[in-house]
Chains A and B, each alone.
Chain A
Amino acid sequence: MAADGDLKPIKKLSLKENYALLTRGLGWEPTYEKKEEIFRTIDFEGIKIHDWEKWEDPFRLTMDAYWKYQGEKERKLYAIIDAFQQNNGQFNVTDARYVQALKLFLNGIVGLEYASHRGFNILGREFPGVGPRIAAQMQAIDELRHATTQIHAISHYNRFFEGMADFPHQFDRVWYLSIPKSFFEDAVSSGPFEFIVAISFAFEYVLTNLAFMPWMSGAAFNGDMSTVSFGFSAQSDEARHMTLGIEVIKFLLEQDPDNVPLVQKWIDKWFWRGYRLLALLATMMDYMLPKRVMSWSEAWTIYYEENGGALFADLARYGIRPPKYADVTIKEKQRVSHEMWSIFYSVRNAVGFPVWLPSAEEMDWFSEKYPDTFDRYYRPRFEHWRELEEKGTPFTNMTLPQLCQVCQWPCIYTEPDDPTEFVHRETEYQGETFHFCSDGCKDIFCNEPEKYVHAWLPVHQIYQGNCFPEGADPTAPDFNPLVAALQYMGIKPGVDGGLMSQHVDASRWEQWTSRPANLHEGAITQAVRKTT
């Protein structure tokens, strides 16, 4: 037996050595089952990986460190959420319009976080290397964290405002929520390499600042302590996810030159898909935040044109070029939010939140931020619509729109070089005609038509009679298919949509806070004048 004092002092390990010892070598080459039967989904996309060990884990985070670090962040976050709820922090936000943006967040984003959790679970199981599998597993549980903390941060709002109560039901059914839903289902239904390029690189690395910055800064600017605390808390997770995104891309490109064209194809596709998804963000930033952070055009300039430009310059040495149709996004940046808000305004009776026309002050802000387009194309439209509202005959559109087969937005975008002409693209496949909002979306379809014919397009489904609540009788004399479709979607006709000035959120807001529901328009109820 070794006696006391005989032992050499224990070698101190650096963090790097510690991680390497604890993690590397956990995997082994299977001999009782065939490798291709264990990892069944990594070959069909055509990506070639010669050495999984070349994967440099960028974080070197052992589980004990992960638990402690994340646990500490959770403790702080929930302390704030508890305080927010106890003090009715929901009444401290700028006005009731801000809450409408939160409805988009809860109903449209939480489902994506969960889908992302599932996508990374698949990678966490299917990647043959230890390093990439651990990285995917950690992101899988992080994404679950984001779904969880978003629900918890916004849960309290649901107790005081309409339109959030049925968020999982709506995510699966509401026509405009099929846009985010189809985006993530497109990624999750792809192979593992396309998924990681789509989400970790194209979305997290190239576009995430555009998704994260407006929501979270918007929350901060508008006094939403609960949501902004989620944002601060998630920031370090996002930083890890972005690092993973760039590591993945370099790994794939360095493994085999044959990977380059595949990766480029996915970058093109997912950049465009992500960009179209972000149109929702553009609208929210420009129109729904009572206090604005920056314009969509400014955000696109900084976060895509400048940062993205530098990134793609750096990737040029691998043979990667900037995404196809990036030029179109730059042409559209002065238009997209205005075109979108026009659509939401005109179909406001079929959406899950009320809308409003921009005030005089807001239109002046748009004139300044969008000097080439706003006064020319959109101001006259909004001024005309305001006149109609004042006459008591607000403009409304009861026709269901033609949806794009790929991004699922209504085909409302305009020609890259002509803001007065709608883009309509179409193609034939197996004897049927398919419609697109853009060349970008059409290309995506044409590369994989057999995938996109399966898209669940809400308008088509409504017209086919697939969107009625259980027990509805379409033969009844008073049957109204549009009302039935809204009920199916979980939108309460007459409650959820319409004009902000007539919405129950607005009148309740004024009763509760004694402040105007729309700070630019003055009070709509007597409640604002009360002092006790």
Chain B
Amino acid sequence: MSVDIRTNSVKPIRNTFAHLARRFGDKPASRYQEIAYDVQSEVNFHYKPLWDPDGEIYDKRRTAITMADWYALKDPRQFYYGSYTTTRAKQQDALDRQLDFAEKRDLLRQLPEEVRAQIVFALLPLRHYEWGANMNNCFISAYGYGTAITQAAIMATTDRLGMAQHISRIGLLVDGNSGESLTRGRALWIDDPAWQGLRRRIERLFVTRDWFEVMVAQNLALDGLVYPFFFQQFDKHIAASHGTGLSTLTDYLLRWHEETAKWVDATVKTAAAENEQNRAAIVGWFLAWREAGIDALKPIAERVLGDAAEAALGAVAAQLDARAAKLGLKV
């Protein structure tokens, strides 16, 4: 038997906010739309920022990119804070089971010493790469234009801190919680010649003032090389002779990168399609940072993959170029 509950239904006088109705018509808006669109102030700013006396608090001129509507840069994942945190929490629950499994079985500690040393050499300096990426994404959320981009960028910022912490955990699984691998990773990042190319590029991004260039450089070009290189190529290299223990822990990073790439790609593609000047600027940035990234990875690749380095890097670069082509960045 079904029971019809009679509810007091009242017809609303409007279905959504006026600024959303102007964009999408008067129909119920999604929770993403309610926060992503138009919440940032646009006009009638009161004071000149002491940290940028020639600009406004929110200023479209902090990038060479121009957009008729900055809200075209929407996030295809439609993340708002609630969906973002619940998604990450769920992923973290799954990851915790992997970490627990790896710890109980000593999956990484049981690897031969030279393999553990290789993992430390290849992965632990990436904690600092992630911390740099955290800072660069925070730059985008600080100086970007429009709620849509700043909210996605602060999520990317906290994500990168999370990734740095996850890599730290891999280190602790290798060193049995002594923290030695973290110390070693830090020393490599700061002093080892093989890692200096990448650190130099990350520091270069710290003084790059155009936030969209930072977006293209960090999130498309560098990440588009670093993630596939370390978490596909290097991981495959370890797995080939030592099983997939490490893969169970790096898979999370790879999946995170695939998911975030949807946002990065949509943002870059939309901006590039907006006008020819945008496209030219983005192509210029992309090419320069792609080159820089390949240069930076070469010495690391040679150290960890030896003769296989060139092929691995070539595969990674081809993957990135195919992705760029899809974004309209004809190279």
Residues of A within 8 A of B (CB): 1-2, 4, 7-8, 10-13, 21-23, 25-28, 30-33, 37-38, 40-41, 44, 62-64, 66-68, 70-72, 74-75, 77-78, 87-88, 91, 110-111, 114-115, 117-118, 121-122, 124-126, 130, 133-134, 137-138, 140-141, 144-145, 147-149, 151-152, 155, 158-162, 164-169, 171-173, 178, 181-182, 185-186, 188-192, 451-452, 454-456, 461, 490, 508, 512
> Contact mask B73-103 → A, CB, 8 Å, 1/0?
0000000111001111110110110000001
Please name the 5 residue pairs, one residue from A and one from B, whose CB atoms are nearest each other, closest first: A71-B89, A63-B162, A159-B12, A121-B142, A74-B82
Using a Cβ cutoff of 8 Å, how many contacts connect chains A and B? 275
> Contact mask B312-327 → A, CB, 8 Å, 1/0?
0000000000000000
The winner among A13, A169, A512 for most chain B CB atoms within 10 A is A169
The answer to whether A2 and B110 touch across the interface, beta carbons within 8 angstroms, is: yes
A10: chain B residues at CB < 8 Å are 103, 109, 176-177
Identify the closest chain B residue to A164 (Cβ): B17
The answer to whether B150 and A2 touch across the interface, beta carbons within 8 angstroms, is: no
Q: Is the interface of A mostly helix, strand, loop or mixed?
A: helix
A48 to chain B, nearest CB (A): 18
Q: State A71–B82 Cα separation when bound (angstroms).
A: 7
A77 to chain B, nearest CB (A): 7
Q: State A105–B207 Cα separation when bound (angstroms).
A: 39
Residues of B within 8 A of A (CB): 7-10, 12-19, 21, 31, 34-35, 38-51, 57-58, 80-82, 85-90, 92-93, 95-96, 103, 106, 109-113, 127-128, 131, 134-135, 138-139, 141-143, 147, 150-151, 154-155, 157-159, 161-162, 164-166, 168-169, 172, 176-179, 182-183, 186, 189-190, 199-200, 203-204, 206-207
Q: Is the interface of B mostly helix, strand, loop or mixed?
A: helix
A155: chain B residues at CB < 8 Å are 17, 34
The winner among B127, B138, B186 for most chain A CB atoms within 10 A is B138
Q: State A155–B109 Cα separation when bound (angstroms).
A: 53
- Given A22-B165, A168-B39, 15 new contacts (CB under 8 A): A1-B111, A10-B177, A27-B131, A40-B51, A63-B161, A111-B39, A137-B134, A148-B35, A165-B17, A168-B40, A178-B44, A178-B46, A185-B57, A190-B50, A451-B48
The answer to whether A110 and B18 touch across the interface, beta carbons within 8 angstroms, is: no
B8: chain A residues at CB < 8 Å are 88, 91
The answer to whether B47 and A125 touch across the interface, beta carbons within 8 angstroms, is: no
Identify the closest chain A residue to B8 (Cβ): A88
- Residue from the list B34, B46, B88 in contact with A71, Cβ < 8 A: B88
The answer to whether A21 and B155 touch across the interface, beta carbons within 8 angstroms, is: no
A457 to chain B, nearest CB (A): 9
Identify the closest chain A residue to B43 (Cβ): A172
Q: State A64–B127 Cα separation when bound (angstroms).
A: 16
Q: State A124–B13 Cα separation when bound (angstroms).
A: 42
Known: A62-B165, A88-B10, A456-B44. A71 touches B85 (CB 8 A): yes
B200: chain A residues at CB < 8 Å are 32
A454: chain B residues at CB < 8 Å are 46-48
The answer to whether B46 and A133 touch across the interface, beta carbons within 8 angstroms, is: no
The answer to whether A25 and B186 touch across the interface, beta carbons within 8 angstroms, is: yes
The answer to whether A147 and B35 touch across the interface, beta carbons within 8 angstroms, is: yes
Identify the closest chain A residue to B183 (Cβ): A25
B143: chain A residues at CB < 8 Å are 122
Known: A125-B135, A167-B17, A185-B47. A110 touches B179 (CB 8 A): no
19 A-B pairs with CB atoms under 8 Å apart are: A11-B177, A26-B128, A33-B204, A33-B206, A38-B207, A64-B162, A70-B85, A118-B40, A118-B142, A137-B154, A151-B34, A151-B39, A159-B13, A166-B19, A185-B57, A189-B49, A189-B57, A456-B44, A456-B46
Identify the closest chain A residue to B153 (Cβ): A121
A512: chain B residues at CB < 8 Å are 10
Known: A181-B46, A188-B49. A75 touches B86 (CB 8 A): yes
A122 to chain B, nearest CB (A): 5
Known: A33-B203, A67-B88, A75-B86. A172 touches B44 (CB 8 A): yes
The answer to whether A33 and B207 touch across the interface, beta carbons within 8 angstroms, is: yes
A508: chain B residues at CB < 8 Å are 13
Identify the closest chain A residue to B103 (Cβ): A10
A181: chain B residues at CB < 8 Å are 41, 44, 46
